[in-house]
Amino acid sequence: MKNIYFWKNFIEKVKKDFKGLDFEIVAMENSSELTRFAKSYIHQNVAETDLSITFKVINQNKVGVVKVNSFDETVISEGIKRAIGLSKIVPELDYQYCLVKPQNYKAKSKSSFYEKTANFTPLNRAQQISKLVKKVNKKEYEASGAFETGMETMMVANSEGVFAFDRKTKVNFNSIITKDNSTAHHSFISSNIDHLDIEGISDELLDTALRNVDQVEIEPGIYTVILSPEAAAEILSEAGYVGFDGKLIMEGKSFISGKQGKKLFPKSITISDDPDEKCTIPIPFDFIGYPRNKIELIKDGVIIDGVYDYLTALKYNRRCTGNTLPPENASMGALPFNLVMKGGEYSSEDMVSNTKNGIYINRFHYVNVLNPMSIELTGMTRDGTFLIENGKITRAIKNMRFNVSVVDLLKGVDMISRERKTKAGLVGPVVAPYLRTNNFTFSSKTSF
């Protein structure tokens, strides 16, 4: 993987190829390895090294973008030539483009690069998987999942002097254990391999799976539910995708459009995009080199605003919030990079013991948006859905389909846990607590 000095030299070297035109360069280098296991054996085991360098040329308010994946000098110079060529033939933008000026980047709140993670080997991963397999096999369960380790670098520069560089390591471990219809799921995300606790994960999986047996069928209807952080994170991610994108807000296609400043939710609901949150993996700048700071999305139940990419900000005269996506995704607008939901005052045990009749949801499957304006979502429960009766988790239930508006779901939240967990999101991770809501609609059921 190339370091900061390589990229500084690279920019100096290719500058002349742009023939005095304004330019932006976004580069990402990736070295990832992933071991996949199913039915307690490793069935897929892969490694890749890849690179993307995107050259964007701005020529009299016309933009040409070319992406290559090689350091080969001919490929680089041809790529820049093609970008210049494109910038001559495409129509002008309908707003005035200007490059980002040089920025100050504060130090990240915590490191996200760990040598031990970067050097974790296929054998190391296999050894960890072996521990899980042995432990669950003793209880006659089979283990399946994926274990990824790797590192990434990101560099953004432009002809105005912007230069931003970051590197990070990654650990993604997700697993399911199964025996007939008894299943359990766990996911883990971090930069630091030392935080992966296979023994703890194995115990948690077995604890859930051993309770997730003899599932009973319940009828569709409106229920009080407690969402695990995994389930809550998925709901928040979808909300981030269709609700908080500044471009959709400006086009009148988001539930936020025209509602900034209005109190829609209980006071306990506070959601932000926060790279400084201690539980997240910080993304310090966006794909145009804008530094990222905490952005309030919903504060004490009041809608503040969404996140804005640089192009939408220029077009609609808004402030870029440091959420610009890679050039090939520019037309999408913006997404939150480090979604964080503020914790509440309860323990997850309190939440269960204070629920007379309800359902605990461990995980969702195949969530999709039904209606973007209300963020009505549909999806299935999976890998551990339980009935709560008189303050206790009593029985496992068969999987159900839900049709729920996130707006209504958040309006119905009356308990939030102190404890929060970090889960994978669409761009960066999502930090989410347990949530109890009184307004959750199951629309149909399954046979398992």
Partner 1 sequence: MKKILKNILDYLDPKTDYADVRFVETDNENIEVENGVLSSYNVSTDRGVGIRVLVNGSWGFAASNNLEKGSLQETAAKALDIAQASALVKKENIKLAPVEKHIANYVTPIIKNPFKISSTEKIELLIKATESMLKDKVKKSEGLLSFYKTHKIFVSTEGSEIEQTVFESGGGIVAYAIGEEDFQKRSYPSSFGGDHATYGYEFIEKMKLKENAERIAGEANELLSAPLAPTGTMDIVLGGSQLALQVHESCGHPVELDRVLGKEISFAGGSFLTLDKLNNFIYGSPGVTIVADATAPGGLGTFGYDDEGVPARKSYLVNKGKFVGYLMSREDAFKLDLKSNGAARAENWNRIPLVRMTNINLLPGNLEFDELIGDIKQGLYLDFNKSWSIDDKRLNFQFSTELAREIKNGKLGKIYKNAVYQGITPEFWLSCDGIGKKKYWHIWGVPNCGKGQPGQTMHVGHGTSPARFRNIKVGASK
Least CB distance to partner 1 at residue 133 (A): 6
Least CB distance to partner 1 at residue 144 (A): 4
* Helix residue spans in 147-197 (DSSP H): none
- For residue 255, give the H/E element and its range: none
State which residue, 317 or 447, has the beta carbon closest to partner 1: 447
State which residue, 183 or 417, has the beta carbon closest to partner 1: 183
Give the span between the Cα atoms of 37 and 334, in whole angstroms.
35
C-alpha pair distances (Å), 360 with each of 64, 230, 351, 442: 51, 12, 10, 13
CA angle 259, 263, 264 (to 5 degrees): 80
State which residue, 40 or 417, has the beta carbon closest to partner 1: 40
Contacts of 331 (CB under 8 A, 6+ apart): none
State which residue, 79 or 343, has the beta carbon closest to partner 1: 79
Least CB distance to partner 1 at residue 354 (A): 29
E strand residue ranges, 39-181: 41-59, 62-68, 142-158, 163-179
Contact present, 334 and 307 (Cβ < 8 Å): yes
State which residue, 106 or 116, has the beta carbon closest to partner 1: 116
State which residue, 54 or 270, has the beta carbon closest to partner 1: 54
Least CB distance to partner 1 at residue 152 (A): 13
Between helices 198-211 and 122-137, what is the axis angle to 10°?
Answer: 30
Least CB distance to partner 1 at residue 393 (A): 22
- For residue 88, give the H/E element and its range: helix 73-89
Contact present, 264 and 297 (Cβ < 8 Å): no
Least CB distance to partner 1 at residue 290 (A): 19
